[in-house]
Structure 1
């Protein structure tokens, strides 16, 4: 009994609560009508029959709570436990239905407004003081129901996210497998990752501190657009991050959908991380090969590198590594040939040749080094005399580029 409330008030409150029970179906219909004004409920994420059934059980339990206020202090299997269990089930169901937390709270808040409005409708003018004394009780009952519903909803969302993450990790691991990928595996992985298996993708790989930075970017959401995702895989001390390239508006030749590709579609947060980078490969089937290339590029990073390294930028490093693996050391051969240089001559020749390899033009090289054109020609001739490398022959110049990579 409320403080200052006599037996007559208590009896009258019981009559009003029973009146609510008698109007249960009217409360349900009013709730269904009003909740469908919330967009996420209007688009049938929750069916009308399920809405009515849930509303009926919700109001029945809330009204039971109003009938006996002691339910809030009971540890028995009474009204409180029944309402709490139902709220937990409801929160989990709405999470699985894809209802947003904002829409859920808006729907639950309707319970109080509908209950209170109906109480006022069935009450007499003499019940005004009684209703005022009971408004806190009505609010507490609904608020406890809302709190339990939201808590259950949040827990279910966390569990769903963990399950989804585990499924994604499992399929990503399959994609990185060295075994041949079946069509079913690719299709299932694409569904789990919510992506097109035939889309174009890019991938980066790194180890050490750079790998830690990649993981942070992926966790914090450094994707290109809100609808895109960064997918992460870790294996053998390396971290791999890959993503689908966004499709451009319009079509290409023959009416086929056109898809953008290239470094403009690398997440901005990754552009400052030293890593191996393979851009624009076709389809998930090519992922294992692209990952191996990205890992190989990551191994060729220099301390001075401050961002992703592509095969186009590192072709000479790749070639040099391949030759060294085969037991051929162009650098050692070059060092031996230049050992005959006189004091200061080696530095001048090296500077001139490096500049010429960069510009490909005698005049430009002379301008950049503040030398006469003939001086540059003499140095290039001297370099050829010592090394046997004619920079005018591309195949021979390429040897030098590789040696200095």
Structure 2
């Protein structure tokens, strides 16, 4: 008997054990959470494993037509697992388990295979499994790209409707939420980032676990919007998962949006905060951080700059006195304490009291009154 005949005989013998090969494979793969929690049925796993082992054994037999069939099965498996949301690394790891299962069967003492033959054919077995894995991976990635492209197009279409100048009706909002697969009554994180950081954040979004909360992105001018339903906290503090998306970039976080209808207002707030950030900013910024700068800037845009009220009033005193009064006022507005202000300025508490009294005499603003201190903050506290 020639070597090829002995090899084909060994392949045929293992082919009679296909059900046992499948069960051994399932026993090894099911502990992987990506499969145990994937929602895939045992029937699906069993059927695809049976077809894969059968095709690999046929290809190992050396027929060109069977090698083509193996490529077809790999393509089908890759596309199906991409649609089912199985992580690629888990999928490839599972396929590479096929080698150990096949090899254990080929080397089983009961078959009495010639050790020299097994050594010679080990590379062939591994190359077949590796070629199958590469074909599955290639088709998986192509399918994933198509899915993401279609989802992105649909997402952009409905987000455009949500953020259109004309406010959507309640019926439209319900339809948009359904199309985006989000609850219309959820609390939403709405954030804005620089459009140049959009690619990085989208990559991080794609790398999330398949069953994670959906994250929507939308390019709007110089900014990319990020919209995510929130499962717990409804304040501006980011969860660990949310913060990981924005690590190393500047992100403007709006006050949370109650329901999908509130997303429109939150988008405006996030963009306003983002536009207010200095160049080169990094980190998380909220309305709490930027309200003073935004308000002062907006007032100055319409000719109501509070700074002019104070500076014109202080124009009646000398330059040195004006600087002392402004220093005392700014420090007190920051610290809110006469004692702390005196410590910061290295002077007596009565000196601070006298300077604040002089400030009030010139401007009419008593910084220990909330309304007056708010105006002073807008004017000189930024």
TM-score in same-fold range (> 0.5): yes
For structure 2, the 5+ residue unaligned runs are none
Q: Is the Cα–Cα contact under 8 Å of residues 236 and 286 in structure 2 kept in the other structure?
A: no
Higher gyration radius (CA): 1
2:315 to 339, 355, 378: 339
Match of 2:9 in 1: 16
Structure 1 260/222 Cα, relative in aligned 2: closer, same or farther at 3 Å?
Answer: farther
Q: Is the Cα–Cα contact under 8 Å of residues 52 and 70 in structure 2 kept in the other structure?
A: no
Shift of 1:357: 2.3
Aligned partners of 1:11 and 1:223: how far apart in 2?
46
2:276 pairs with 1:300: yes
Structure 1 380/154 Cα, relative in aligned 2: closer, same or farther at 3 Å?
Answer: closer
SS in structure 2 opposite 1:263?
A: coil
2:161 pairs with 1:187: no
Match of 2:363 in 1: 387
2:80 pairs with 1:93: yes
Match of 2:235 in 1: 261
SS in structure 2 opposite 1:389?
A: coil
Equivalent residue pairs, number: 366
Aligned partners of 1:79 and 1:374: how far apart in 2?
95
Match of 1:30 in 2: 20
TM-score of the superposed pair, with normalisation by structure 1? 0.72
Match of 1:241 in 2: 226
Q: Is the Cα–Cα contact under 8 Å of residues 21 and 102 in structure 2 kept in the other structure?
A: no
Deviates more, 1:144-153 or 1:289-298: 144-153
TM-score of the superposed pair, with normalisation by structure 2? 0.75
Structure 1 174/34 Cα, relative in aligned 2: closer, same or farther at 3 Å?
Answer: farther
Structure 1 198/148 Cα, relative in aligned 2: closer, same or farther at 3 Å?
Answer: same
Structure 1 304/359 Cα, relative in aligned 2: closer, same or farther at 3 Å?
Answer: farther
Q: Is the Cα–Cα contact under 8 Å of residues 191 and 252 in structure 2 kept in the other structure?
A: yes
Shift of 1:341: 1.2
Structure 1 63/345 Cα, relative in aligned 2: closer, same or farther at 3 Å?
Answer: closer
Shift of 1:364: 3.5
Q: Is the Cα–Cα contact under 8 Å of residues 9 and 130 in structure 1 kept in the other structure?
A: no
Aligned partners of 1:293 and 1:246: how far apart in 2?
21
Structure 1 317/18 Cα, relative in aligned 2: closer, same or farther at 3 Å?
Answer: closer
1:112-164: CA deviation from partner (whole Å, max 9, x where unpaired): 3376258x7567x8x77767766665555555445434443444344444444
Structure 1 58/237 Cα, relative in aligned 2: closer, same or farther at 3 Å?
Answer: same
Cα RMSD after superposing both structures: 4.1
Match of 1:55 in 2: 50
Q: Is the Cα–Cα contact under 8 Å of residues 204 and 240 in structure 1 kept in the other structure?
A: yes
Match of 1:81 in 2: 68
2:40 pairs with 1:45: yes
1:61-119: CA deviation from partner (whole Å, max 9, x where unpaired): 4555455x463xxxxxx34333332332233334434443245314533663376258x
